[in-house]
Structure 1
């Protein structure tokens, strides 16, 4: 596999250059080694044993990757989730900095005529990966999303920055019971994330990832107007850690949860893709054409694409991190970032602080497009 590994004190990230996925991330902290990202179980299997029509991004499914567009590529011909998730990236620059490491990658394909670059920054003793994507030039509009995936042996508990509501699309991911199964009602909506409508007429708790529910589900969370960073925190029970994903809501106003727990019976999933959660922060609806046209999110006042322009640039930033905590622990009640620190507030009022680049997400700056 064509990879590049970048390192700073206490953290390393490996990029699969064949598809631009983050193949591995390790955080060494408090005497422990944490691995917050997922790697599909079929990656090391011979290609000929997998279905021949699989997109390259599914064949190499791992960690996090850029979707541009998110979901269907039905404006410009490309595989599911677009060329950034399915084709090679070149290394433009990769070198140590005064306080860590910085690497720049460029997608070999253009997207809607735009050149796409991925900038990864690691800082010494920061348990976070700082990412930025930059689109230069092009024309038309592009929907985007990050696609970080984590995996759990025994489920976990979730917490979020304030959300306006959660909603499922019109149709489930696996409507055919001969191929898979789902648990949410489709379409459905709730302002209470602990009581989301279920397919059986009851409710399900979006903050509780349970391993005893075989399912393939998808739900979109719309950020509330709270003035701080958007964040998702997952306390993985068996792994005894806390996975953190952060964004600027002005850039990426929705967080989409992909719950993949043995809910697909066909290859390569074959019921073995279990305990996986995608925490997919984006500026998108489902599909490129839908994102550019009239859609339900736009009617809620939510942007679903960036506007590209010749001679112009658009960019957005994202953060993934991991911290140790006790097995069976709870996620934080709130997260605040300021003055080079992140403060995590627990339900009992106690706090914990870690090093964090509080200027990186550019909260409060205007975003166009």
Structure 2
């Protein structure tokens, strides 16, 4: 069994057990079936791929746990670590009072820790509630979620308050014979509507345009605002609203990956179009960088969890709502069993407002 599917009323989620990637997610809203997550075009296509690709790139889908995020240069592992590239087992899966809960365990250890993935679906909630738990181990680990969505006609983004946005020193594709980028590297701005562009001037990070062929990566640092961290993407052609939520005390940064035909070599081959990664994490770029001195630590931002005898866990939510021609919300709040959106077509939907543990202290 390579894939397992769990269901509650109005929602289903499938996990690719060979790599721990979400293979599919379907939300039913009236007569509509919303599919917020992306699956790379080469997955299951039967084509010959470059032999040196990490297993996680071969099976690139949906969302997955990165531990560490990016380079595995402390403990030997593929890009984004064993949780994104190796097998998981079903530990428990069954109906609950009003939904479904499943527990999966990574066969590999990470820095000596066992890793569990817990999925919870609730009847008539358009969200996947997920938690990752590290038990035991030693040292420290950087982590990130890696949800990816894709658009046919572009979209508009909105965010919980961010302190700043910054690109790393080097672009993902510096060689013009292999790809292209649009942002300045390094670059920094506290105004997401005006980020330095590679050719001078500025670009609007809240506007995803399909005619911008690019491969870009940047990090958003959460501001102190006391609520959930969130990203909302209004997809134009799909006419829906993709939502990703976190607890900023656990996952203080959101990394954006703009992948829109910006790589010309296999397996990307200019066909990875309209993809946006919304990667909430506690990390710098690379495991060693996350543990050592880095620019985020100098900003007062944690970039790893300390492992040990205590249990370390963090939570994350992905969902989607119909849009009906509107734009992303101006604000999102969670309370009283509902998620409320200001300025969006759907103003209130069922939500487990206790799940993200807002206001509780995070693990070290």
Structure-1-length-normalised TM-score: 0.98
**Match of residue 333 from structure 1:** 330
Q: Does 1:292 align with 2:291?
A: yes
Query: Size of the alignment, in residue pairs?
Result: 364
Deviation at 1:351, TM superposition (A): 6.8
Once superposed, which parts of structure 1, at least 4 consecutive aligned residues long, lie more than 2 Å away? none
CA distance in 1, matches of 2:252, 2:174: 28
CA distance in 2, matches of 1:330, 1:63: 23
SS at match of 1:84: helix
Contact 2:252/2:280 (<8 A) preserved = yes
SS at match of 2:83: helix
Q: 2:347 aligns with which of 340, 344, 352?
A: 352
After TM superposition, list the pairs within 5 Å mapping 1:1-369 onto structure 2.
2-46=2-46, 49-309=48-308, 311-327=309-325, 329-346=326-343, 352-369=347-364
CA distance in 2, matches of 1:38, 1:352: 26
CA distance in 1, matches of 2:260, 2:101: 35
After superposition, give the CA deviation of every residue in 1:120-168 in whole Å (9 maximum; x if it has no partner): 0000000000000000000000000000000000000000000000000
CA distance in 2, matches of 1:16, 1:95: 18
Contact 2:246/2:315 (<8 A) preserved = yes
Tell me: CA distance 1:75–1:353, structure 2 relative to 1, closer, same or farther (3 Å). Answer: same
**Which stretch of structure 1 is more off in the superposition, 121-130 or 318-327?**
318-327
CA distance in 1, matches of 2:44, 2:133: 31
CA distance in 2, matches of 1:188, 1:214: 19
Contact 2:165/2:188 (<8 A) preserved = yes
In structure 2, list runs of 5 or more residues that go unmatched.
none
Deviation at 1:326, TM superposition (A): 1.5
CA distance in 1, matches of 2:331, 2:346: 10
Contact 2:167/2:186 (<8 A) preserved = yes
After superposition, give the CA deviation of every residue in 1:240-294 in whole Å (9 maximum; x if it has no partner): 0000000000000000000000000000000000000000000000000000000
Structure-2-length-normalised TM-score: 0.99
After superposition, give the CA deviation of every residue in 1:153-205 in whole Å (9 maximum; x if it has no partner): 00000000000000000000000000000000000000000000000001100
Contact 2:313/2:363 (<8 A) preserved = no
Deviation at 1:338, TM superposition (A): 0.1
CA distance in 2, matches of 1:150, 1:351: 20
In structure 1, list runs of 5 or more residues that go unmatched.
none
CA distance in 1, matches of 2:156, 2:349: 21
CA distance in 2, matches of 1:134, 1:124: 24
Deviation at 1:29, TM superposition (A): 1.1
